[in-house]
Chain A
Amino acid sequence: NAGVTQTPKFQVLKTGQSMTLQCAQDMNHNSMYWYRQDPGMGLRLIYYSASEGTTDKGEVPNGYNVSRLNKREFSLRLESAAPSQTSVYFCASSEAGAEQFFGPGTRLTVL
């Protein structure tokens, strides 16, 4: 089992460009999450999906959109990237009431 996979691993964008970060899990989990990690701030929840067909805002949703494509896949879209979105992005999945499993992360730089 691969667990949680994320693509791409690295990405450089120019201000105003758009991109989609992909996440997939093979553990049959119902819940999936997107976090961003910035130095000195820990991980902050951007969006989450408690189950297939539902999505909700987290702590820092502005500038992002998400799609829960099916039970396995949860994508994060930046419509018009800004330098403030330079960060490391992590996807995670879990069953309700259980441990969250994290992917390896995507390092995004916005110039």
Chain B
Amino acid sequence: QQQVKQSPQSLIVQKGGISIINCAYENTAFDYFPWYQQFPGKGPALLIAIRPDVSEKKEGRFTISFNKSAKQFSLHIMDSQPGDSATYFCAASINDYKLSFGAGTTVTVRA
């Protein structure tokens, strides 16, 4: 069974809107939580990552919010652009080694 549960499976947002993707985990030993972005026909690429000692990390229009007590973390894409249309995967690992991935969320940004 998947160790990281991701929702929603897909979402559609208007240009300029906010996209929110949520992930939940059970294993409290996880200490590294990256998000990967994948375009069709390409391999995933690291977008942003967070460790459990901080509650939020922002890089440009992308923000991770982390709630350690609830064992949840989320990705917010602000001012969504058509170029953000992709599949996003959350993941978690212990000691940065083996990543456990969520099922993925396909984001479509309508112009």
Contact = CB atoms under 8 A, between A and B. Distances in A.
Nearest to A103: B43
Contacts, number: 55
B93 to A, nearest CB: 9
A42 B96 contact: no
Name the interface size band of chain A.
20 to 34
B101 A40 contact: no
B13 interface: no
Interface in B24-47: 34, 41-46
Interface residues of B, number: 23
A90 B12 CA distance: 27
Nearest to A58: B98
Highest count of chain A CB atoms <10 Å: which of B6, B99, B101? B99
Nearest to A94: B96
Nearest to A105: B43
Contacts of B45: 101-102
B103 interface: yes
B97 A90 contact: no
B67 interface: no
Interface of A: 4, 31, 33, 40-45, 48, 50, 58-59, 90, 92, 94, 96-105
